[in-house]
Amino acid sequence: MEKPLILVINPGSTSTKAAIFEEETVLYEKNCTHSAAEIGRFKHILEQQGFRYQAVLNFLDETKAPLNRIKAVIGRGGMLRPIPGGTYAVSEAMLTDLKNASKEHASNLGALIAKEISDELGVPAFIADPIVVDEMEPIAKVSGMKGIERISIFHALNQKASARRAAEELGRRYEECNLIVVHLGGGISVGAHRKGRVVDVNNALDGDGPFSPERAGGMPVASIVEMCFQADADKNDIKKRLVGKGGLVSYFGTNDGREIEKKAQEGDAGMRLVYEAMAYQIAKEIGACAVVLSGKIDAIVITGGIAHSKMMVQWIRERVDFLAPVLVLPGENEMEALALGALRVLRGEEEAQKYEN
């Protein structure tokens, strides 16, 4: 009996990644990169749908994959309203919300393209664990100022996938474990996973929590107020200084941790101090999540691109391994995570959730 194929679509800011999985195994994969000139033709993200849809069709033509064996199409989830984690069937309500999303993001195209192709193939379309996954407990949302609430926006797809892999290594189900998952990328998110739910996590999109290669992280509030009232202050510029030009970029003009690590190892004391300070703040956030879980932690999981850095991982490990065993699962793993989300539904291990108004 032939195994089902799953088409995975992951639109990024300057690329459209596409892959075909045979159950857990990737058969074909391509990162379709888009030049600044190609992207620059479009004023808004939604206008790119046809262009990126064609990139996926070209990928399918190149692979000569048997389309009749594709049993599901899954796209990266976008800026929807807050929802619990899981795999969701693409619905009209979801498509409408993505077309009217409050924030423009390339991931908003994932479900739109997946639905377009799935309709042509006569198979279901899904998304899984979008960045707006919200499983935070009410107490975690209280900010300390009436009218402002802490929100859940983080690397849910890779955090959830890494948590499931970690649970497997522990010989248990994700829903049976208490885990602290640390995603180290351009943004950094640290989540407290209690029995399959992320009950607290920093808002990584807007730069809450530890500083990162591109985000300033939790800043001294009075200093930010002063910055906002400087004579040349501009709202968009300040936002950019906090998210995009913050963190390592603000200190060294680069978001490349490998470059900074290399110079730190070669004796640059200033770079070493800031790079280690990033590890220090990450460890502090892990400690905060340990309190959320009342110290009952099965493992601390470190994932994301910077998890390849032995120096960074070692600095974090030295400060937190007294709390729980540290498991390192480097890489983004988004394509595999999406494929597995669809596969769980095809196997009947998980029921596709409904996204409704």
Q: 68-118 pLDDT, tens per residue?
A: 999 999 999 999 999 999 999 999 999 999 999 988 888 999 999 999 999
Return the pLDDT at 15: 87
Alpha carbon distance 218, 209 (integer Å): 5
pTM over 0.75: yes
Q: Mean per-residue pLDDT for 132-155?
A: 95
Alpha carbon distance 81, 197 (integer Å): 17
CA count, 13 A, side-chain hemisphere, 171: 0
Q: 213: closest CA among 182, 252, 159, 156?
A: 252
Residue 280 has pLDDT above 90, yes or no: yes
How many degrees, rounded to 5, is the angle at CA 241 between CA 238 and CA 246? 150
CB 295 within 8 A of CB 302: no
Q: Do domains 5-132+335-346 and 138-324 have the same CATH topology?
A: yes
Alpha carbon distance 100, 318 (integer Å): 45
**Is residue 195 classed as helix, strand or coil in its secondary structure?**
coil
Return the pLDDT at 357: 77
Q: 162: closest CA among 179, 140, 138?
A: 179
Return the pLDDT at 34: 86
Alpha carbon distance 194, 198 (integer Å): 6
Alpha carbon distance 353, 291 (integer Å): 31
Signed CA dihedral, 105, 106, 107, 109: sign only: positive
Residue 231 has pLDDT above 80, yes or no: no
Return the pLDDT at 176: 97
**pLDDT single digits (tens) 313-324:** 999 999 999 999
CB 176 within 8 A of CB 205: no
Return the pLDDT at 207: 75
**pLDDT single digits (tens) 257-271:** 899 999 999 999 999
Mean residue pLDDT of the chain comes to 94
Instruction: Provide the residue ranges of all domains of the chain, joining segments of one domain with +.
Output: 5-132+335-346, 138-324
pLDDT-derived band of residue 309, with 50, 70 and 90 as boundaries? very high
**pLDDT single digits (tens) 31-79:** 988 888 888 888 888 999 999 999 999 999 999 989 999 999 999 999 9
Tell me the fold of 5-132+335-346: Nucleotidyltransferase; domain 5 (3.30.420)
Q: What is the DSSP letter of 215?
A: B
Return the pLDDT at 275: 96
> CATH number for the 138-324 domain, one of 3.30.420.40, 3.40.50.20, 3.30.230.10, 2.40.50.140?
3.30.420.40
Q: 203: closest CA among 154, 149, 143?
A: 154
Alpha carbon distance 272, 278 (integer Å): 10
What pairs with residue 183 in β-bridges?
189, 303
Return the pLDDT at 217: 93
Q: What are the residue ranges of helices labelled H in the chain?
A: 36-40, 49-63, 92-99, 109-121, 138-141, 156-169, 221-228, 235-242, 247-252, 257-265, 269-292, 310-320, 334-346
